[in-house]
Every structure is written in structure tokens, then in C-alpha cells.
Amino acid sequence: MKAMVLREISPIEKEPLKMVDLPDPVPGPKQILVKISACGICHTELDEIEGRLPPKLPIVLGHQIVGRVEKLGSEATKFSLGDRVGIAWINSACGKCHFCRAGNENLCLDFRGTGCHVHGGYAQYTVVLEDFAYLIPKRFSDAEATPLLCAGAIGYRDLILSGIKKGQTLGLFGFGASAHIVIQVATYWGCEVFVFTRGEKHRNLAEKLGATWTGGPEDEPPRKLHCAIDFTPVGETVLHALGVLEKGGRLMLAVIRKRNPIPPLDYSQLLWDEKEIKSVANITRRDAQEFLLLAAKIPVIPDIQEFKLEEANQGLILLKQGKIQGAGVLRMPG
């Protein structure tokens, strides 16, 4: 099979992903073999490539995977051949630790990420345990479904953990793949959404999707925010978000890693009055399952920009530069 492989940590500008031929993977007893049609690209891949989240090398990246079941393992019974399935960031968890037993398998000490600890979706085929794959609603094309599996699912978890309620004001800092899905859910829930982003095209898209106010990352919104979600890779955004947060408000940090440290903050001015900062780590299978159903019901309409598999480096460079409108998606060769 054709695959884009990362063999060493490197700035993405050096185009470290290389096209190679690999043997087709063989499913284990409880696994399924998936012929991949599309795989989303994500900021997490930039963190892996550039060393902020070092993967197991060499690795096939990619964790927003859509394809069809090509072969069943000897003990796999959940899917049928030809079923269209998705694979997300959570590739496996132990199922036995206190985190897993409490429903927090995303915090499992033996958590394994797709495209980080095991080969992912920048390839024509992959294998996955059948319990960690999801049927894709018919409402979505293959490419449209890919960002739902990470950008959408983690955004859904952000919203749930933020505690946002109908009629409250939600601030979104950064307006990439996840935020452009989150706004569609938040407005469906009856929230007022303010969007903070540098790009004029991103602000225009936010307004099209229902934002009642848009501005730059350091602008003052018309009103304080009950909740905020920071999707940006920079530390400075945290201070500004706290500064426009209402008393008792909660700031969610939606990225796995920041490219630069969060600057020192003035506790009395920015964090007092029972404000909270909460990080989001990974997703659970329940997040993905619930969100796919909700996205089909709303329906969420992802804005996508497609690239060929061999264009993965170029797509990730554009992502780093903030030049992708919505979500980037890799199309696999037939």
C-alpha cells in the first residue's frame, strides 16, 4: 500500500513526510482491515512532526479516518464487509484501570493514539480493534465525515465540559477545523457565539455560520463570556481569554500542546472571582458516538479543502500558516 511515513522529527517546512510502499496490514482476531478513502489533517499531526508530541517512529500519521471494511479478523463480529466506518484519535485503552472504569478512558495510562502509537490514516489501509471504530451516518460524504472524528468530537467534548447553557455567551479563540464545527453545535443549542480570529476569511466564515460578533484575538467583545474555548497554538491567548471571561466563567484549552509557554498571569486580575481553566485531553468512544449522531441531526456541514495523499506536507504547511478554510482532508489513491 501507499503511505506517507514520518521517520524523524522535523519542522513541517522541510516536508518530512515521505511516500513509501508498505505491506498491507493484516487484521488480528478482534480487528478489522479498513480500506481508507479519506483522512483529515489536524494540528496534532503538526505537534507530532515537530516534536511537541513525539510519536513512535517511524509512523503513519492520521487519526480522522473514513473508509470501508475490507476484511474481518477471525473473531470480529461488529461490522460487515463493505460497512463505512470511521476511526478517531482513541485507538485503544486498557478498560481495567480506575479511569476506564469511571468512563474516562481518555485518561487511561495505557491510552494509545491512532497515528501516534500505532499506524494511522495517511495510507491506503489500516487496521483497528472493532470496538474502536464507528459507523458513519449516511448524511455525510467520506471527506465531510473526517473532521467529525476529531475536530468535531473533541469540540463536542469541549462544549460539554465547558458547562455552556442555552442563552449564554461562548467565546471561540481561533477559527479552524474544530471551531467551525463547534459554532454550529453551539448555535443549535441556543448559545450566542463570539469569535476571536486574525484572518478576515475566517471571520467571514464565522459570521456565515452564526457568530453574532467577530474580532481579532485581542479585541474586546460586546459582553463578557460565560465560557470560552481556546483552539490556538499560542500561550498569549490564555491571558486575553481570561480577561474577557465573566466571573465564575470557565476557559477550556482545546489543544494538546501550545507552541510557546503561557505567559505569567496576574491572579487578582485574570483568575480570581472563581474563574476556571480546564484542559481537554483526548476523547472517549462515547464522545465520538454521541457526536456523530448529533452532527447528523443538526446537521453539521463541514467546510473542507481536499488534498491528494502525496500533498500531505503541503496541506500541513498551509494548516500551520492558518490558510486552510475549515478542515483539510487527504484523499487516498484508488
Residue 242 DSSP SS3: helix
Is the predicted pLDDT of residue 334 greater than 80, yes or no? no
Name the H helices within the chain. Answer: 43-49, 98-101, 142-145, 151-162, 179-188, 200-208, 236-243, 285-297, 312-320
297 backbone dihedrals φ, ψ, rounded to 5° = -75, -40
Rounded-to-integer distance, Cα 152 and Cα 160, Å: 12
Higher pLDDT, 325 or 321: 321
Confidence of residue 58 (pLDDT cuts 50, 70, 90): very high
Is the predicted pLDDT of residue 294 greater than 90, yes or no? yes
For the chain, where do the domains classified as CATH 3.40.50.720 start and end?
152-279
Count of CB atoms situated within 10 Å of the CB of 88: 29
Residue 290 DSSP SS3: helix
53 backbone dihedrals φ, ψ, rounded to 5° = -135, 80
CATH assignment of 2-150+283-331?
A: 3.90.180.10
Is the predicted pLDDT of residue 257 greater than 90, yes or no? no
pLDDT confidence of residue 313: 98
Is the predicted pLDDT of residue 314 greater than 80, yes or no? yes
Is the predicted pLDDT of residue 55 greater than 90, yes or no? yes
Confidence of residue 229 (pLDDT cuts 50, 70, 90): very high
Is the predicted pLDDT of residue 252 greater than 90, yes or no? yes
pLDDT confidence of residue 124: 98
Confidence of residue 251 (pLDDT cuts 50, 70, 90): very high
pLDDT confidence of residue 256: 81
pLDDT confidence of residue 80: 98
Q: How far apart are the first and last CA of the chain?
A: 10
Residue type, 309: L
Count of CB atoms situated within 10 Å of the CB of 60: 25
Contact 106, 283 (CB under 8 A): yes
Question: By mean pLDDT, which of 14-18, 117-121, 158-162, 257-261 is the weakest?
Answer: 257-261
Count of CB atoms situated within 10 Å of the CB of 188: 14
Strands 225-230 and 169-173: parallel
Q: Report CA-CA distances (Å) from 22 to 11, 186, 234, 268.
A: 24, 42, 36, 56
pLDDT confidence of residue 280: 94
Tell me the per-residue pLDDT of 21-48, one tens digit each, with 9 for 90 and over: 999 999 999 999 999 999 999 999 999 9
Confidence of residue 255 (pLDDT cuts 50, 70, 90): confident
Confidence of residue 126 (pLDDT cuts 50, 70, 90): very high
Confidence of residue 328 (pLDDT cuts 50, 70, 90): very high
Mean of pLDDT values over 297-308:
96
144 φ/ψ sector (left φ>0, alpha ψ -120 to 50, else beta): alpha
For the chain, where do the domains classified as CATH 3.90.180.10 start and end?
2-150+283-331
Residue 302 DSSP SS3: coil
Please report where in the chains the cell 482476531 appears, as a residue. Answer: 29
Strands 192-196 and 213-215: parallel
CATH superfamily entry for domain 152-279: NAD(P)-binding Rossmann-like Domain (3.40.50.720)
Long-range (24+ apart) CB contacts under 8 A made by 312-318 are 312/4, 312/17, 312/41, 312/61, 312/122, 313/4, 313/12, 313/15, 313/16, 313/17, 314/15, 315/41, 316/12, 316/17, 316/41, 316/45, 316/46, 316/49, 317/12, 317/13, 317/15
Rounded-to-integer distance, Cα 254 and Cα 308, Å: 28
Rounded-to-integer distance, Cα 26 and Cα 28, Å: 7
Confidence of residue 258 (pLDDT cuts 50, 70, 90): confident
Is the predicted pLDDT of residue 202 greater than 80, yes or no? yes
The whole-model pTM stands at 0.94
pLDDT confidence of residue 4: 98
Is the predicted pLDDT of residue 259 greater than 90, yes or no? no
Contact 239, 267 (CB under 8 A): no
Is the predicted pLDDT of residue 87 greater than 90, yes or no? yes
Tell me the per-residue pLDDT of 163-196, one tens digit each, with 9 for 90 and over: 999 999 999 999 999 999 999 999 999 999 999 9
- Mean pLDDT over the full length of the chain: 96
Is the predicted pLDDT of residue 325 greater than 90, yes or no? no
Confidence of residue 306 (pLDDT cuts 50, 70, 90): very high
Q: Report CA-CA distances (Å) from 90 to 13, 52, 106, 184.
A: 28, 19, 7, 24
Among candidate residues 171, 239, 238, 178, the one with its CA nearest the CA of residue 211 = 171
